[in-house]
């Protein structure tokens, strides 16, 4: 990617499903995308949206749009059609590039003036999601992505400042908010590239693997850097534990970005299945999204070695803290210390700065990234800031050495009879049970106690846990008042492809009597 001094290599080879594309071809296609956008009159500060699953064109459009100064906006394809309509309208997207099957339910809701380009949904995605082949074809009368770039003149000349990616937050407390950054200065670009090298494992000889959706900030950034600075990038449509190990062995993968849910699923494979695959090529695993249960990470490192890194931050503040394997082993459970140019404060209920080991709301300032605003919502930007520090909604504490520990999401905290209970603590114990594949812990309204603790349990294959056995498992591990008063065994729990648990959706359904 030629936009910045830190991204001078031609794009790496990329493998998606049974398709592969080399450096030179990828570079030419990116230039064609940039040229097509420029021919339409798009340039600095304008919006190009993508509604695609994990596929090569999402990277081509991402990089190509940024090459001419546009913002790239990857949309969460798990959203309902009206929600996607809101994102397109709110962002002011002038072009939407979409997979054929994802476009169908939203086509009539695309705002007037937004040009639609359709990508044929490839067989690997069709098979992974069991899609109707007819839905995967470009509809008659729509502009075909391959024809669109074939007809374009390649972009040439100087590139404007990189506007970056607009990521929409999940919107658990209202409508999603689009995080729009100022153009990065050369110094911010250098800092950003260094953080990705140190915390995500970006290097010229990296052979990366990604299985989480590219509409999330961290996978999106990893894929872009891996495709522009690495040797090979393998993208899978969705995560399958054994297939994941097979890909590591086949392609000699050495760098992975994942989420803790992936680790849990890998570790729950039978030992004889894990031992079938050679994963000795791995040298750097980085995880994001949520804190990893201590025993899960410890078991993972016993398997693959001390190569597991953790990054902490958010869409608004970027990568702000990093726990190296050595740092985490010295301080199990930490999410790390600040990266260069980042600061953390812990604030109390009256906005006072708290001392070591005092839990409070976490605020972050990060000079690695340019400043941001929320699209069409500057008031929300002002509300989350205190003295230049940004809240991302977590509760935690700094120890005496500056290591950060997360208690939970502030909005997920349960207040039982006036006592704060953090669901993450209970969930991190539950996932250690061999009878439990997945779990969700949250508070439910109660007239006597204010809230009670509820746990929804997805059994492991072949296991038959019940409420009594779950309580018996927890009793020696956590305080009695934290043990869930309501326990339900369910077939499956709602998670996004990224592994993010849709807990608010489940809780609302339970309260409404629908689950």
Cβ atoms of 239 and 211 within 8 Å: the answer is yes
* Distances from the Cα of 48 to the Cα of 37, 51, 86, 204, 403, angstroms: 9, 10, 15, 29, 39
Tokens 């520090």 found at: 389
| Confidence (pLDDT) at 4 | 38
Average pLDDT of every residue of the chain: 90
Same topology, domains 13-182+193-210 and 217-409? Answer is: yes
Pairing mode, strands 385-386 and 389-398: antiparallel
pLDDT tens for each residue of 313-367: 988 999 999 999 999 999 999 999 999 999 999 999 899 999 999 999 999 999 9
Pick the CATH number of 13-182+193-210 from 3.40.50.980, 3.30.70.1350, 3.30.70.141, 1.10.287.610: 3.40.50.980
Query: Both tokens of residue 393?
Result: 């909604």
Query: Both tokens of residue 186?
Result: 């050369």
Query: Both tokens of residue 172?
Result: 């658990």
- What is the pTM for the complete model shown? 0.80
Give the confidence band of 5 by pLDDT, cuts at 50, 70, 90: very low
- Mean pLDDT over 475-492 rounds to 91
Give the number of other Cβ atoms within 10 Å of residue 164's Cβ.
23
Span 413-511: which CATH code? 3.30.300.30
Pick the CATH number of 217-409 from 3.40.50.12780, 3.10.580.10, 3.40.50.300, 3.30.930.10: 3.40.50.12780
Tokens 């459009």 found at: 61
Distance in Å from the first CA to the final CA of the chain: 48
Residue 3 has pLDDT above 50, yes or no: no
Query: Both tokens of residue 212?
Result: 């989480």
Determine the 3-state secondary structure of 293 from DSSP: coil
pLDDT higher for 406 or 94? Answer: 94
What are the boundaries of each domain within the chain? 13-182+193-210, 217-409, 413-511
């Amino acid at each position: 990617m030629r936009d910045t001094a830190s991204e001078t290599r031609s794009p790496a080879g990329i493998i998606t499903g049974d398709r592969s594309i080399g450096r030179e071809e990828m570079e030419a296609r990116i230039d064609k995308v940039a040229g097509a956008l420029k021919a339409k009159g798009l340039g600095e500060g304008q919006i190009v949206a993508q509604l695609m699953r994990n596929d090569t064109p999402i990277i081509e459009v991402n990089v190509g749009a940024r090459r001419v100064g546009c913002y790239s906006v990857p949309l969460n394809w798990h959203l309902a059609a009206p929600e996607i309509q809101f994102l397109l309208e709110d962002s002011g997207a002038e072009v939407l590039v979409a997979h054929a099957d994802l476009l169908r339910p939203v086509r009539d809701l695309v705002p007037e003036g937004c040009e639609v380009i359709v990508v044929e949904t490839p067989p690997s995605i069709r098979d992974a999601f069991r899609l109707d082949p007819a839905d995967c074809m470009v509809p008659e009368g729509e502009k075909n992505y391959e024809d669109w770039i074939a007809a374009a003149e390649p972009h040439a000349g100087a590139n404007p400042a990189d506007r970056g990616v607009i990521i929409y937050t999940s919107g658990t407390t209202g409508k999603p908010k689009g995080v729009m950054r100022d153009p990065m200065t050369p110094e911010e670009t250098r800092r950003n590239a260094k953080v990705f090298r140190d915390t995500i494992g970006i290097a010229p000889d990296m052979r990366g693997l990604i299985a989480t959706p590219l509409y999330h900030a961290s996978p999106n950034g990893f894929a872009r850097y891996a495709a522009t600075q690495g040797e090979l990038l393998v993208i899978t449509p969705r995560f399958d534990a054994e297939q994941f190990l097979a890909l590591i062995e086949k392609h000699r993968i050495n760098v992975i970005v994942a989420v803790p849910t992936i680790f849990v699923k890998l570790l729950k494979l039978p030992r004889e299945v894990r031992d079938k695959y050679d994963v000795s090529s791995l040298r750097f695993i980085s995880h994001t999204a949520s804190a990893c249960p201590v025993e899960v990470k410890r078991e993972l490192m016993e398997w693959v070695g001390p190569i597991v890194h953790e990054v902490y931050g958010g869409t608004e503040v970027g990568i702000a803290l990093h726990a190296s394997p050595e740092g985490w082993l010295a301080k199990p459970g930490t999410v790390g210390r600040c990266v260069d140019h980042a600061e953390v404060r812990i604030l109390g209920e009256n906005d006072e700065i708290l001392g070591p080991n005092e839990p409070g709301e976490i605020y972050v300032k990060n000079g690695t990234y340019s400043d941001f605003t929320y699209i069409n919502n500057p008031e929300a930007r002002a509300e989350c800031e205190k003295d230049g520090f940004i809240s991302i909604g977590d509760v935690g504490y700094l120890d005496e050495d500056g290591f950060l520990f997360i208690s939970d999401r502030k909005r997920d905290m349960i207040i039982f009879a006036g006592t704060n209970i953090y669901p993450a603590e209970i969930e991190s114990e539950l996932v250690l049970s061999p009878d439990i594949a997945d779990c969700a812990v949250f508070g439910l309204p109660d007239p006597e106690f204010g809230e009670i603790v509820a746990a929804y349990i997805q059994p492991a294959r072949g296991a038959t846990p019940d409420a009594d056995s779950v309580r018996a498992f927890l009793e020696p591990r956590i305080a009695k008042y934290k043990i869930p008063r309501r326990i339900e065994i369910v077939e499956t729990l709602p998670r996004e492809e990224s592994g993010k648990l849709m807990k608010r959706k489940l809780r609302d359904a339970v309260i409404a009597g629908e689950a």
